A = this chain, B = another copy of it.
Amino acid sequence: MKRALIVGRFQPYHSGHHEAIKNILKEADELIIVVGSSDESHKAENPFTAGERIEMISIALKEKKLFEKCFIIPVADVHENSIWVSKIKSYCPKFDVVYTNNPLVKQLFETSGLEVKKMVSKLKDVDGVKIRKAILSGDEWSGLVPDAVKDYLKKIKAAERISAIVEKEQKE
């Protein structure tokens, strides 16, 4: 049995994440999805709570019958990146391989003796910054996230929240 791990902030969970996860689960039996910066919410870079992000991810995984193969684990930030890998290990069940395209994450996990692989997705240019901007400006963004996530974001009034956050942060 092989267990993989990925790390993301999932602000929000989008089609790039979804695609990559489906690909990893072709190679691995189980996947740990670390929801990073779990102690941040209602900020421009981190509008959604950990609970909301876990909800988004699970909605999308359940549609694809992938939920039962995954652990979704919120982990708060640590200042010292040098101890971050050790925090991840403390919060997660044992894992065999890390998938990431981030060079620092790669260095940190490799230094600690873990195997690291590249994450493959056809949707490289989909990212959270772009989606949060589109939600804010009213541009079309529904193709950028799984349909079920789109519905969820509308239900929790994501556009209204992001707009309030941005207005607040500009004032300060």
Contact = CB atoms under 8 A, between A and B. Distances in A.
Interface of A: 38-43, 45, 49-52, 54-55, 58, 67-68, 71-74, 76, 79-87, 89-94, 102-108, 113, 127, 160-161, 163-165, 167-168, 171-172
Contacts of A83: 83, 86-87, 90
Contacts of A163: 103
B82 A89 contact: yes
A109 to B, nearest CB: 12
Is chain A's binding surface mostly helix, strand, loop or mixed? helix
B39 A172 contact: no
8 contacts: A42-B81, A49-B90, A51-B89, A51-B93, A71-B72, A74-B91, A103-B163, A104-B164
B167 A91 contact: no
Contact of A41 (B81, B165, B168): B81
A42 B91 contact: no
Nearest to A9: B172
Given A42-B104, A76-B76, A86 B82 contact: yes
